[in-house]
Structure 1
Amino acid sequence: MTTAAASSDIASLLGSDADDLLSYTCKGFGKDSLHLPGPDFVDRVLRDTDRPVNVLRNFESIMNCGRLAGTGYVSILPVDQGIEHSAGASFAPNPAYFDPENIVKLAIDGGCNMVASTLGVLGSVSRKYAHKIPFLVKLNHNEILSYPNQYDQTRYGSVRQAFEMGAMAVGATIYFGSEQSRRQIDEVSEMFEEAHALGMVTVLWCYLRNSEFKQGKTDYHVSADGTGQANHLGVTIQADIIKQKLAENNGLYNAIKFGKTHPKVYSDLTPGDHPIELCRYQLATCYMGRSPLINSGGASSGAGDKAEAVRTAVINKRAGGMGLISGRKAFQRPMNEGVELLHAIQDVYLDDSVTVA
């Protein structure tokens, strides 16, 4: 696909938002202040850190796999929903994915840089595929079978198990703002320290969870200031990559009247409510991009999934992010359609006309 054709397809999927999203210039943090993705990201940004050399090697290997190899961007397929959302809810739309091998096949055929899943999923096919696509083992999960539910994460595997199956990366979730968050921070910090010692890249799902973060009809779980602070806590425990939901609003601190913020956060740093501006703040809180930001693709909503995924990819790329980690939109449909959707996301990052705002 040519750049011109890709640009036309992207603009078509963006619809009436195309001009606004493709031509917007950020007024808060300027792009020159950021550590942006690129083919030299490991040498330019990570080389001088305290990360062991094997972490750098594995990070470079992840960056050089799939359709986005050599671009500095990543496309990751995550399929760990079977634990939290139930296997039935996750895989009934396409029962082929009850078989873990098909999850890995989708990531390979979809041209992804890496496949992220549970210890059980990746361990069941590791000898066949760990040398063909980088593995990211998600080590903790919530599960909605214990009743009543609580906002917590439980370890389902060890860093050593991930290392021994050949994984290049480990991932974990922290529910920042929940009653259990401080214990989770402690647990994940220990896991990430061990992972780095073994040469693995660390990826943190930095999610907010607290019933008070929803005020009236506004859900501040996806606020720029709240998710930004979660990101900042994540990079503090040395997450190499931050996974975050795309910001949809701003003003959590002011809404709940708790914690500390500053008026300039809502004026100088995130002027207005443009989605690229809000995402740029999320990136800035990741040490200005020294730890790259990847945004989640979100739940599957049906026919509009491709357009939604492309929109999220455009916002992430133009904000300065490193890519998308999109699962349900891809695996809850026939494999050929899932591959097509993953390619549509990747086409945004392959398109040189989609620039950093």
Structure 2
Amino acid sequence: MPSSLVLSPENEALLTHTARVSKDLLQLPGPDFLDRCFVPGSRTPQVLRSLGAIYSHGRLGGTGYLSILPVDQGIEHTAGSAFGPNPMYFDPENILRLAVEGGCNAVTTTFGTFGAVARKYAHKIPFIVKINHNELLTYPNKFDQVLFGSVRQAWDLGATAVGATVYFGSAESNRQIKEITAAFEEAHALGMATVLWCYTRNNSFKTAEKDYHVAADLTGQANHLGVTMGADIIKQKSPETNGGFTALKFGKTFPAMYEQLSSDHPIDLTRYQVLNCYAGRIGLVNSGGESHGAGDLEAALKSAIINKRAGGQGLISGRKAFQRPFAEGVDVLHAIQDIYLNPAITLA
């Protein structure tokens, strides 16, 4: 880590936590991760080559860790809210430039963005094409993810992988599960890797006291379902609480889920997410979260430390990078990557 980067006392304190679940139970990130966790399985040589391209690219290439720039907020939120803080990103090429100069393993964005600049950048950085979205122009808004293009279109754009979201817990989740499982099967048949946003979404998951959309037990189960659907990489929001099943009085639980496999500490909550990714055989990348301005760097470093020490494989961080001046965005991405490159920050 650069000597100029000084962690806050709160982030420094994360470096000494001992995890409740031993790291010996996990398949940990490392240069041989694909050989250990994918070669024995069912993925074809073409898919392995695509995964190798992602894991080998950028400043974290060859480490088993991932730094991915995601920019789909122009559809998922609105273009004005996403790019208003820095209008240069209305031009799709600047998204690709940021990912390249930011040293990312890959960039994930929309059919429209890649369609505008694919020939210029397909050989410079791996593409992850996000094939479905929830758009907010429908009124009243609803929680649904719909396909905006086909897997074959993503392949034609030069995609190394396809990405998709399922809103587990929503009224439309059964259709989304079937739809994206079939899409991932087709992507694997074409030699592409797959990334799944395993988000929980249901109005009943948020109570007056807590938002259980980010509970470790609910998000952990979403991860487990996502791996079963054929995801090669799982994207999940960082957990902030636990006990969603017990508080909402649904699902199946066991006391050890809360008493032995987790705690209130963010590293333990995240390790439970990793445990549900087939004990780390499928990599967990956590969301970087929205931008709040001046405190973004410390918040991003905190997320990276928690993810790394828990056994995760990286951050997929967008708004903290592209909603600020270009050079500052590059610096934020590099600072996140430096956490994963720093051997002094070890597994808890």
Same fold (TM over 0.5): yes
Distance 1:131 1:35 in 2: 31
Identity of aligned residues (%): 62
Indicate whether 1:93 and 2:93 are aligned: no
Task: State the secondary structure of the residue aligned to 2:199.
Answer: strand
Task: State the secondary structure of the residue aligned to 2:68.
Answer: strand
Indicate whether 1:21 and 2:8 are aligned: no
Deviation at 1:71, TM superposition (A): 1.0
Task: State the secondary structure of the residue aligned to 2:37.
Answer: helix
Q: Given the two structures, how large is their TM-score scaled by the length of structure 2?
A: 0.99
The match for 2:188 is 196
Deviation at 1:19, TM superposition (A): 3.9
Distance 1:120 1:111 in 2: 23
Deviation at 1:33, TM superposition (A): 1.0
The one-letter amino acid paired with 1:104 is: L
Deviation at 1:165, TM superposition (A): 1.2
Indicate whether 1:235 and 2:227 are aligned: yes
Indicate whether 1:305 and 2:296 are aligned: yes
Task: State the secondary structure of the residue aligned to 1:85.
Answer: helix
- Deviations along 1:199-218, one digit per CA (max 9) or x if unpaired, are 11100000010111112131
Deviation at 1:55, TM superposition (A): 0.7
The one-letter amino acid paired with 1:229 is: Q
The one-letter amino acid paired with 1:342 is: L
The match for 2:336 is 345
The match for 2:305 is 314
Task: State the secondary structure of the residue aligned to 2:70.
Answer: strand
Deviation at 1:84, TM superposition (A): 1.7
Task: State the secondary structure of the residue aligned to 1:179.
Answer: coil
From 273, 280, 283, give the equivalent of 1:292: 283
The one-letter amino acid paired with 1:103 is: I
Q: Give the unaligned 5+ runs of structure 2.
A: none
Q: Give the unaligned 5+ runs of structure 1.
A: none
Task: State the secondary structure of the residue aligned to 2:279.
Answer: helix
Distance 2:125 2:9 in 1: 37
Distance 1:93 1:217 in 2: 32
From 235, 242, 257, give the equivalent of 1:250: 242
Distance 2:243 2:114 in 1: 39
- Deviations along 1:148-198, one digit per CA (max 9) or x if unpaired, are 111100100111011111110000000000000000000000000000001
The one-letter amino acid paired with 1:157 is: G
From 91, 106, 113, give the equivalent of 2:105: 113
Task: State the secondary structure of the residue aligned to 2:103.
Answer: coil
Distance 2:337 2:11 in 1: 17
Deviation at 1:20, TM superposition (A): 2.5
The one-letter amino acid paired with 1:80 is: D
Deviation at 1:44, TM superposition (A): 1.2
- Deviations along 1:20-75, one digit per CA (max 9) or x if unpaired, are 20011111x21011011111111111001101111111111111111111111110
Distance 2:12 2:152 in 1: 48
The match for 1:332 is 323
Aligned residues: 348
Structure 1 segments (4+ residues) deviating >3 Å: none
The one-letter amino acid paired with 2:59 is: R
Task: State the secondary structure of the residue aligned to 2:62.
Answer: coil
Distance 1:40 1:263 in 2: 35
Contact 1:206 1:242 in 2 (8 A): yes
Task: State the secondary structure of the residue aligned to 2:166.
Answer: strand
Distance 1:210 1:18 in 2: 32
